[in-house]
Chains A and B, each alone.
Chain A
Amino acid sequence: MIYENLPDARGHFGPYGGRFVAETLMEPLRELEAAYQQLKNDPAFRAEMDRDLALYVGRPSPLYPAERLTRKWGGAQIFLKREDLNHTGAHKINNTVGQALLAKHLGKTRIIAETGAGQHGVASATIAARLGLKCVVYMGADDVERQSPNVYRMKLLGAEVVPVTSGTRTLKDALNEALRDWVTNVDDTFYVIGTVAGPHPYPMLVRDFNAVVGRELIGQSQDMLGRLPDALVACVGGGSNAIGMFHPFIPFDGTAMYGVEAGGDGVETGRHAAPLSAGKPGVLHGNRTYVMADDNGQIIGTHSISAGLDYPGVGPEHAWLKDIGRVNYVSVTDTEALDAFHECTRTEGIIPALEPSHALAYAKKLAPTMARDQIIVVNLSGRGDKDIFTIAKREGISLL
């Protein structure tokens, strides 16, 4: 199918994607793309990658039947793809392992990363420690505040964490700052982007490294269930865990797909982080995609209880999948996500991160509309240990 060939040679997914950066970065991006195209088909590189995913990350991650949640919510059977069981506790490590190996092959000695919730920062710091690379992580000053356990983890791993105080002091500003670092230190530095956004080739290569999730799921579904799932549900901030699960399923029309954005206080209030639900096409961070902007084209602040979803743009492949109608993009509120967080924790003994709690909240709505012999797989993209302080604070509980 045509799906398989995207992005095109210029990094476009239909009208989205591309490479919108200042001239200084164009040649480094071209070099990165060329190196990736060569290495991705190199058997030695693939073997090194597969070995790291098995022995260091702990793949494959289980496909777990959530029988008690299924009974509680009624309707379709809920399965969880347990990316929370990966080393470092989220899907993010799938991508950092790949990009760090790329960095090593390109002879770079320093990696930089941006992070929102801190999961990508931790995953980057982790792989930097393992490969002996210097690591600098840019993090919005507000996120440093609300994700302090992850900040400490990064420091323990030897990374330098730089709080970013410009703009809205969140993920988008951390991304700007990482791009500024890269443009300044491009000779020795590899920029490990954490999501499927940024200029080409990043949306492609971050997708490819995360697509192990969807590929595994196809095999596991066939082995365990004898068929593919009826529906996939994943949360979408930048959209890396969702695209990792969705991409291999794009040609399989029998599997419906739902990308769940952060509705914050509710999309109708304007206080949310749901560009696909309520934004419009624009250009941000090097690619054309759906963004949240005002009438003058200024990017506007986002609101979500989940730092990892608090981003005003989204990966360009999602923008394209929305326009062609292959994926349904929906949103749930902070409150709905929090309810799902508690239900999953109490019913299954699994503490999910706030990000996939959004996916769980939508699965809760979707399941009762489907038959009991149908199957929903939720990408449980990360574990919730990092969020317990945020949740306690919101619920007025002091942990000190």
Chain B
Amino acid sequence: MSRIESTLAALKAEGRTALIPYITAGDPHPNHTVGLMHALVDGGADIIELGVPFSDPMADGPTIQLACERALLHDTSLWNCCAMVAEFRKRDSRTPVVLMGYLNPIETRGLEAFCALAQASGVDGVLIVDLAVEEAPDFAPVVRAHGLDLIFLLAPTSSDARIDAIVRQASGYLYYVSLKGVTGAALLDVASVEAKLGQIRRHTSLPIAVGFGIRDAASAALVGTVADGVVVGSALVSQIEKHQATPAVLPGLLKAQLAEMRAALDAPATAAQVA
């Protein structure tokens, strides 16, 4: 059982929803990333999605685009991201880390070399935003051979046929994009999310995390009533953007922001719905 699987299985047994924060590696500076990862765990993170910065993040909204630009000012590379995870692992052997990014940096370095380094660095899973399942047959065996989970996106537009094809290649968990749009978008319709999750669950027993549009404790709690995990990204990255000049305050702020979501998620369902 992978670290991701056992983490999610333990949460499920406790009847809790996974809290999955996203930050972009190297934002605001590569020196701060590992400290921020520990702060996220202190705030209640169950899994960390660490963004690999890319020059052309076409599925991301302005908040994460700017985070990529800040990280790339310091040339944060895929190799640096693996090194950050290795550093994080010195103090945390429990919290799974998923690298999330785009294909070109991986292809440039070579899939095999990347997977070997990721495994050695203590990375648990890989989510490649622009790797559609049709193009994945060559990737999935290599990723799995290195003990890494390959996490896929599902969307409101995914048909039954696509869901079926995706769940066959996926492991760890599925990341359901709660709305048509880019990261950081507003407006989230929990009823439609619930309906779609029902459709997906007819195809798979993999845990489903929901992301895009979760900005605070209330929306996290609401989504937590229907999902196995909630992903929060742009709301955290906005804090980093706001305080980039005084990065020393960031660990405390991010921890507090996440702790609020953690509390809302762990509160009884009725209270969450009122919130």
Contact = CB atoms under 8 A, between A and B. Distances in A.
Bound pair (A, B) = yes
Interface of A: 10, 18-28, 166-167, 172-173, 175-176, 179-180, 183-187, 281-286, 291, 293, 295-300
A24 B104 contact: no
Given A23-B177, A184-B185, A283-B104, A296 B69 contact: no
Interface of B: 54-62, 65-66, 69, 72, 75, 77-79, 102-109, 129-132, 134-135, 152-159, 162, 166, 177, 180-182, 185
B169 to A, nearest CB: 12
Nearest to A25: B157
B172 to A, nearest CB: 16
Contact of B56 (A22, A24, A284): A284
Given A24-B177, A167-B56, A282 B107 contact: yes
Given A23-B155, A285-B56, A296 B135 contact: no
B157 A22 contact: no
A95 to B, nearest CB: 21
Q: Which of A19, A27, A180, A299 has the most B CB atoms < 10 Å from its CB?
A: A180
A212 to B, nearest CB: 30
A18 B72 CA distance: 27
A167 to B, nearest CB: 6
B92 to A, nearest CB: 26
A53 B5 CA distance: 58
Contacts of A283: 102-104, 107, 130
Contacts of A184: 180-182, 185
A296 B108 CA distance: 7
B103 to A, nearest CB: 4
A296 B82 CA distance: 13
A310 to B, nearest CB: 15
Contacts, number: 129
A297 B158 contact: no
Contact of B180 (A21, A167, A187): A187
Given A297-B107, A297-B108, A21 B130 contact: yes
Contacts of B72: 298
Given A180-B58, A297-B78, A23 B107 contact: no
Given A183-B181, A296-B78, A20 B130 contact: yes
A19 B134 contact: yes
Nearest to A27: B157
A100 B157 CA distance: 23
Given A297-B54, A297-B104, 15 more contacts: A18-B135, A23-B157, A23-B177, A24-B157, A24-B177, A24-B180, A26-B157, A27-B159, A180-B59, A283-B107, A284-B56, A296-B79, A296-B108, A297-B105, A298-B104
Nearest to A173: B56
Contact of A179 (B58, B65, B103, B156): B58
A359 B156 CA distance: 45
B104 A293 contact: yes
Contacts of A180: 58-61, 182
Nearest to A28: B157
Contact of B55 (A20, A23, A183, A299): A299
Given A187-B180, A282-B108, A298-B72, A23 B132 contact: yes
9 closest residue pairs by CB, A with B: A297-B108, A297-B105, A24-B155, A22-B59, A27-B157, A296-B77, A23-B153, A184-B181, A298-B55
Contacts of B153: 22-24
